[in-house]
Amino acid sequence: MKRIFLLIVLALVLKISWAQSQDDLQLAYSYYSAQEYEKASYLFENMFNKTKSKTYFIYFVNCLLNSDNFDKAEKAVKKQISSSKNDLTYKILLGFVYRRQNFIDKAAAQYEEALSQITADKNQIIQCANMFSSLSEPDWAEKTYLKGRDLTGEKFTSELFSVYASSRNQKKMVETGLDLLDENPQNVSTVQGMFQYYVNNDINNEFYDLLRLGILQRIQKSPSTEKSELLIWLFLQKKNFKSAFIQAKALDKRLNEEGQRMIILGDEALNAKDFETASDCYSYVMEEKGIENRYYKRAVYGVLTSMYERIAGGMITDSSEIYALEKRYIKTFEEFGLNNQSVNDIKNFSILETYYLNSPDKAKTWVEKTLNVPSLNYSQRAQLNLTLGNIELFSGDIWGAVMTFAKVENDNKQNEYGDEAKFNKARIAYYTGNFKWAASQLDVLKAATSKLVANDAMELSLLITDNQDADSVLEIYARGDMYFSQNQFGKSEASLDSIIEKYSTSPLVDECYFLKAKIYERKLNWQKAADYYKKVADDYSYDVLADKAAYNFAEISAFRLSDKEKAKEYYMKILTDYPGSVFATSSREKYRELEKK
């Protein structure tokens, strides 16, 4: 019983002692951070005496050095050297004490002495190099690993990379990282991970250029799959899909691959909106691998999607190319049939027919054919019916559109498709002047699970509530908005101009100019679209559309009109005038990209 009591007392004493040590340690770090080095040195010295931890000793010495107590620091380190003769890190620390006193030659001699005593002990080599690194002596850390290489035959490549990274020696970082790949080709993922941070944070592309050149030189000396893959990876980090395509194609041919690499690259380019390169990737698989290839079908649909996105983005405007894509779609549907994998393609095709070729009836026929496919799931049926409702709205079949959207809403309660259908019904009510009912539906949709629907509902709700005292003007605007959705641009602009001329003090005037900008975007008249966006951003800077107008103006200036300076000016305007804008993050990124060019 007495023994149990003693054990309990001992446990309590140890617990109290440990808690006290933790408190002292926290206090020591706090003093150190506050640059109260004399107070911190006392605590770190006590902690070291209790634990013999080298970490606490180094903090203790640093405290002495930072308070110019050099003699005490030197004596403390020399004492440790005497009591730990086999630990060379204390000799290195003594060299650091000399360096802090600007005794450069003495410090170098001390470092050299420590280096000369290193043996073929890997742990000792790493400890000494780490000590040099922690004391901001990368050149000596490098010398340590190079000597270790001679003594042990160990390469220490990863460790040397870390040393060069800490000293920002980019050239040696590149050489060492590529050495690691040469040592073992299976290290390609490791090497990518080592380079990742420095490529991503390379503002002036200095590291990127060094690495690209380094890889190319290694490929010329000794080509390998892994080096080519590293180069492709590097191009992709900077979204240079065109260069990645050239390398991937060469690798595909050299290895006689089936085309999977090209399909994956095409998908990445497509997601990054480099539709031209995406199309090149898919076309390569179609043409080089042939119809029997297992990726042929994916390649065919990939080409269709790439071409469609280029038309939707205004990159292809020639009507002959648009009609050519229509024929390719129809040929593909006839060749492969309609199934649950072609839903997205039917949706894109129906948009092409409706909005670009003004053939809503043909679009409707193909959507209805696809709806008869028995293997469709609820999600695919909902998407197709939403597309059908939009086609009916475009055609002026308002009642048909309402019925279609009501069916989708009823079949998809509590999910995003039901919310979208409900929003479309509210939008039709707004188009037709039933503002009160539309507003009540939009209030519910502000909490929709789909962020896109919730944002659209919020915008339309604000438009209605902010102008509910001027129903007659809002009716004209809503009619113009509906004409816009039906591609009846002449009628839409006439409605908007009537508001601008007759109701010049209406709060809807800036909305009218904004919608006119969208009309000219649809008509691919980029200069006029930019002019109207600029007018909203400048003349109505106090209104809710100002940041969006400024962003759209910057985008058109940068990517359509090649006016980089204007684009930079308006990206910066968003950052300074509207820092809380949803466009702020993107504006900052775009501004930085333009600064590099």
CATH number for the domain harbouring residue 584: 1.25.40.10
**Model pTM?**
0.82
Does a structural domain hold residue 517?
yes
pLDDT tens profile 499-527: 999 999 999 999 999 999 999 999 999 99
22 confidence band (pLDDT: 50, 70, 90):
low
- Does 251 score more than 70 pLDDT? yes
Q: What is the pLDDT of residue 54?
A: 84
Concatenated DSSP letters of 252-305 = HHHHT--SHHHHHHHHHHHHTT-HHHHHHHHHHHHHHH-TTSTTHHHHHHHHHH
Tokens (6 digits) for 371: 């709806």
Tokens (6 digits) for 416: 């995003």
For the ranges 73-77, 226-230, 385-389, 554-558, which has the lowest average pLDDT?
Answer: 73-77
Burial zone of 567 (CB within 10 Å; 0-12 exposed, 13-18 middle, 19+ buried): buried
- Does 49 score more than 90 pLDDT? no
User: Average pLDDT over the chain, rounded to whole?
Assistant: 91
- Does 13 score more than 50 pLDDT? no
Q: Give the total number of structural domains in the chain.
A: 1
Tokens (6 digits) for 506: 């209406």
pLDDT tens profile 417-472: 999 999 999 999 999 999 999 999 999 998 888 888 999 999 999 999 988 877 78
How far apart are the C-alpha atoms of 68 and 35, rounded to whole Å? 13
- Does 202 score more than 90 pLDDT? no
User: Residue 240 region, left (φ>0) first, then alpha (ψ -120 to 50), else beta?
Assistant: beta
17 confidence band (pLDDT: 50, 70, 90):
very low
How far apart are the C-alpha atoms of 230 and 251, rounded to whole Å? 12
What proportion of the chain, given as a percentage, has pLDDT over 90? 77
CB 431 within 8 A of CB 464: no
pLDDT tens profile 552-591: 999 999 989 999 999 999 999 999 999 999 999 999 989 9
Average pLDDT of the segment spanning 41-62? 85
Does a structural domain hold residue 360?
no
| Cα separation values, 85 from 52, 122, 129, 356, 576, Å | 15, 18, 18, 83, 61
Does a structural domain hold residue 442?
no
Does a structural domain hold residue 378?
no
How far apart are the C-alpha atoms of 59 and 22, rounded to whole Å? 16
Q: What is the pLDDT of residue 314?
A: 86
Instruction: Give, as one character, the DSSP assignment of residue 470.
Output: G
Q: What is the pLDDT of residue 18?
A: 39
Half-sphere exposure of 215 (CA within 13 A, CB side): 24
- Of residues 152 and 10, more confidence is placed in 152
How many residues are given for the chain?
Answer: 597
Q: Which amino acid, residue 559? A: F
328 confidence band (pLDDT: 50, 70, 90):
very high
Tokens (6 digits) for 353: 């027919």
Tokens (6 digits) for 539: 């003349």
Does a structural domain hold residue 359?
no
How far apart are the C-alpha atoms of 485 and 477, rounded to whole Å? 13
- Does 5 score more than 80 pLDDT? no
What is the domain extent for residue 495? 472-596
Does a structural domain hold residue 218?
no
Does a structural domain hold residue 361?
no
How far apart are the C-alpha atoms of 326 and 304, rounded to whole Å? 9
171 confidence band (pLDDT: 50, 70, 90):
very high
Does a structural domain hold residue 554?
yes
Name the helix (H) or strand (E) containing 439. Answer: helix 435-445
